[in-house]
């Protein structure tokens, strides 16, 4: 657990050459996740430029090496939803730090449990209402290309994400409840297909979890009606969702001018695509 009062002692160990000390320093610093700089300010700790660069370099190198080691385990998973949740959990830990106290699985379990305990009528559509109205998970209108908007832990905690990250949360919570929900891999946007009884609905998680009507389908197709049957053919598996997430992160890190993280995402993308069916690169923008 992150202890702000220990920060001044941890900073003093930055210059220690011992690999054991260095790993402990990195582990302690990573436990603060994205709040590290705020905690440094609260403790009135002023770092030199060299110390700031050293911290950033140590944390990034540590997290990149760890993610490279963990990623191949995905390729052995047979259950698609287990693979998807594990991949999203690894990416969250990479960004937030391995010692960050909040884990994706715990957050998803809590959402599913709260839905079951507070919602009388339980189906895929009421789950969409619960997540995107009651819990106020919304599309990120500001700082859209921030890589943290692809981080499901950050999205759940901060309540802002991309169409893809929001839909992935919907899928994974729905999986826990045994609802029939799938991703719709539409170029330029990502939607979800939700089945209630024998009826299928197209849900836009970025727009409050509302179901699309005929006018929406026309707008999506540049003025021509987009048949529901055509959208259904765009249902995708977990490998496709993971790959699209990685493409979004590549784009986000390139915009941040972080070539090391962008290169790592490209490496992970090659591995995950080799494990799934071949698909054409549509070159979509982040969504």
* Of residues 99 and 81, more confidently modeled: 81
Q: What would the mean pLDDT of 129-135 be, rounded to a whole number? A: 97
Q: State the CB neighbour count (10 A cutoff) for residue 113.
A: 13
* Of residues 17 and 244, more confidently modeled: 244
Position 33 confidence tier, pLDDT thresholds 50, 70, 90: low
For residue 2, the model assigns a pLDDT of 62
* Of residues 52 and 114, more confidently modeled: 114
Domain ranges, ordered by start, for the chain: 1-77, 78-287
Mean pLDDT of the chain: 87
Bridge partners, 203 (sequence order): 192, 211
Give SS3 for 139.
strand
Give burial (CB, 10 Å; 0-12/13-18/19+) of 181.
buried
Q: What would the mean pLDDT of 210-219 be, rounded to a whole number? A: 82
Tens of pLDDT along 228-284? 777 888 999 999 999 999 999 999 999 999 999 999 999 999 999 987 655 444 444
For residue 34, the model assigns a pLDDT of 62
The token pair at 125 is 């559509």
Smallest CA-to-CA distance from 110 within 80, 84, 135 is with: 135
Q: What would the mean pLDDT of 152-178 be, rounded to a whole number? A: 97
CA-based angle 87:93:94, to the nearest 5?
A: 90
For residue 223, the model assigns a pLDDT of 66
For residue 94, the model assigns a pLDDT of 92
Rounded distance between C-alpha atoms, residue 145 and residue 16, angstroms: 37
Q: Of 85-89, 155-159, 198-202, 236-240, which gets the smallest average pLDDT? A: 198-202
Chain mean position to CA 153: 7
Bridge partners, 199 (sequence order): 196
For residue 280, the model assigns a pLDDT of 45
* Of residues 170 and 186, more confidently modeled: 170
Output the pTM of the full model.
0.81
């Amino acid at each position: 657990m992150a202890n702000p009062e220990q920060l001044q002692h941890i900073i003093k160990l930055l210059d220690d050459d011992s690999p054991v000390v260095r790993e402990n320093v990195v582990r302690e610093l990573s436990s603060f996740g994205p709040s590290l700089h705020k905690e440094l300010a609260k403790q009135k700790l002023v770092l030199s430029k060299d110390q700031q660069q050293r911290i950033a370099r140590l944390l990034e190198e540590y997290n990149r090496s760890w993610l490279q080691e963990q990623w191949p385990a995905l390729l052995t998973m047979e259950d698609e939803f287990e693979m998807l949740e594990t991949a999203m959990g690894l990416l969250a830990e990479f960004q937030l730090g391995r010692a960050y106290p909040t884990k994706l699985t715990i957050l998803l379990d809590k959402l599913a449990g709260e839905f079951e305990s507070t919602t009388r009528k339980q189906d895929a559509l009421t789950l969409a209402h619960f997540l995107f109205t009651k819990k106020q998970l919304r599309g990120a209108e500001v700082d859209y290309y921030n890589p943290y908007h692809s981080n499901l832990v950050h999205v759940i905690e901060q309540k802002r994400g991309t169409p893809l990250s929001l839909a992935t949360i919907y899928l994974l919570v729905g999986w826990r409840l045994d609802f029939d929900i799938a991703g719709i891999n539409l170029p330029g946007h990502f939607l979800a297909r939700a089945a209630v009884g024998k009826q299928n609905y197209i849900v836009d998680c970025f727009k409050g979890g509302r179901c699309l009507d005929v006018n929406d389908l026309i707008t999506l197709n540049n003025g021509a009606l987009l048949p529901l049957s055509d959208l259904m053919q765009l249902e995708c598996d977990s490998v496709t969702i993971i790959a699209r997430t990685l493409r979004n992160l590549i784009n986000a890190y390139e915009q941040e001018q972080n070539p090391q993280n962008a290169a790592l995402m490209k490496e992970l993308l090659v591995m995950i695509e080799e494990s799934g069916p071949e698909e054409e690169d549509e070159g979509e923008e982040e969504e």
